Structure 1
Amino acid sequence: MARFSANLSMLFTERSFLDRFGAAARAGFRGVEYLGPYGFPAAEIAARLRDFGLAQVLFNLPMGDMTKGERGIACLPDRVDEFRAGVAQAVQYARALGCPTVNCLAGNPTQHTKMAEARRTLVENLRYAADRLGEAGVQMVMEPLNRYDNPGYFVTHSGRALDIIDETGSTNIKLQYDIYHMQRMEGDLAATIERLLPRIGHIQIAGNPGRHEPSVGEINFRFLIERLDALGYDGWVGAEYSPRGRTEDGLGWFSTYRAKNEG
């Protein structure tokens, strides 16, 4: 049965970051994820996880400067040393927090980067990161993002992501399948999930359009979650959306799943 985690970079943002852990636990989530833990000492985060009985599910490798539009640096040939330093940092945090999975965002090539060079750099960086994380017992995933919210992003489809993963030759890289992003880029969600499920290491959800609560919009999440359960998926499903108001006021969609997870 799928288990649900709260993405604290988007949910409960009415509170300070460290206070979001307790809010997630009180709302019934069993795990948490977020963009990155790097702005806080690992010991402080570990204490919050322990105090509220939460699992640290996932975080990203360092992503560069998001205020400048960066969404990862793994495909940038002139930032390989920075990428590798970020891998070392992620390994330290993953060990301290007991985090089983770390996500890599490919990034946006600059206007001066040749696409072949960007792909070669990404493949080499993924292989390096997967090896280092694997030595620490951590699964690595890579996430395609939609091009509408993330113009210029290098990996925008699940098929392209898997082709790149295959090129690395690594056995420690899976796909992070964000249903919101892939609805915008591909559609055909149920069939794609069923076909790719053995290669999916983490799933995230949000409604479309708007990236709001899963109960809002065109995607039938009840059907998809029931399908995941029928297929035997027992991994995490991350709630990664922008609440239309106060987070707790929009959690009606979660009530059924909360009861199942607690039962």
Structure 2
Amino acid sequence: MKYSLCADIMFVAVGEKGPIWPDTDGIIEAMKLAKKNGLTGIEMFGLEGRDLERIAAASRELGIEIRACVSAGAALLGNPDKTEELVSLFEQSVPKAKQIGCSNLILNAEEYARNLSSDEVIKVMEDALKRLAVIAEKEDVTILVEPVTGGFFTSSKQAFGLIEKVGSNNVKLLYDIFHFQNIEGQITETIKENLNLIGDIHGAGAPMRAELTVGELDYTFILNTVKELGYEGNFCLEFFTFENRDMKVEASCKVLPA
């Protein structure tokens, strides 16, 4: 298993008008924090407004991979009126992701069509992902579909069923343990049954999205189970920390299997 930090979540600040996401310097600081703790990668949100040349150079210098980023238009998956825009924005995001050595692009469907039935939304998602899969296969990148708390997906069966319908090795599920604990629980059993459809795993303490050592989830048990299953992909620390960042990252890293 490979380990990384989510740079944006880890370095977000709270402003008067809401969250202040890290700039290029913040992304590079996340790389340094990852390296300090023996991690080998980071993940990040959007690519727009960031100095991709500097990020790429820091990635090479520090030996820290950028394992995933959020595609422009990520929220539009599941909205039939926005599918053309989604495809266009994804096509624009791919070369930017490649510029920083990233081959995994995340879609989260947060702005799905709420006027449609669940079955209709799934069909819209399936059709869009099949179109995007053609691009992903040609460009040798992977699309990661991420169900989130309060979003469209209400079960892992529904989410993994969508990935199976698309039927492309370049379209996988981003299994976020924190979100799926909120959605349904049954973490390790679900991973066991669907490991071949998982392209990335995120983790945070639940229910408060804190470091791995806080909350109702036993990450030592979960991650050792995942390792025993033969998972060789990425596990990303994706928790909020507004103080004592170094201490909380260090504590979380202690539960990661070697």
Tell me which residue corresponds to 1:36: 46
**Is this contact kept in 1: 2:8–2:27, CA < 8 A?**
no
**Is this contact kept in 2: 1:211–1:241, CA < 8 A?**
yes
For structure 2, which runs of at least 5 residues remain unmatched after alignment? 14-21
CA positional deviation for 1:232: 1.4
**For residues 112 and 258 of structure 1, do their structure 2 counterparts lie closer, same or farther at Cα, with a shift above 3 Å needed?**
closer
CA positional deviation for 1:91: 1.1
Amino acid at match of 1:213: E
| Residue 103 (structure 2) pairs with residue 100 (structure 1) | yes
What CA deviation, in whole Å up to 9, does each residue of 1:128-184 have, x standing for no partner? Answer: 12221121111222111122xxxxx22232211122222223332111110001111
Aligned equivalents of 1:258 and 1:167: distance in 2? 33
Amino acid at match of 1:29: L
Tell me which residue corresponds to 1:236: 234
Over aligned residue pairs, what C-alpha RMSD do you find? 2.2
Tell me which residue corresponds to 1:126: 129
Aligned equivalents of 2:33 and 2:109: distance in 1? 31
Query: 18, 21, 28: which is aligned to 1:19?
Result: 28
CA positional deviation for 1:114: 5.3
Aligned equivalents of 1:84 and 1:102: distance in 2? 13
Tell me which residue corresponds to 2:254: 256
Alignment of 1:65-84 (within 5 A): 72-84=75-87
**For residues 216 and 131 of structure 1, do their structure 2 counterparts lie closer, same or farther at Cα, with a shift above 3 Å needed?**
same
156-165 or 12-21: which moved more? 12-21
**Is this contact kept in 2: 1:29–1:258, CA < 8 A?**
no
For structure 1, which runs of at least 5 residues remain unmatched after alignment? 65-71, 148-152
Secondary structure at 2:10's aligned position in 1?
coil
Tell me which residue corresponds to 1:52: 62
What's the % identity of the aligned pairs? 26
CA positional deviation for 1:100: 2.7
Secondary structure at 2:137's aligned position in 1?
helix
Alignment of 1:169-208 (within 5 A): 169-208=167-206
TM-score (normalised: structure 1): 0.85
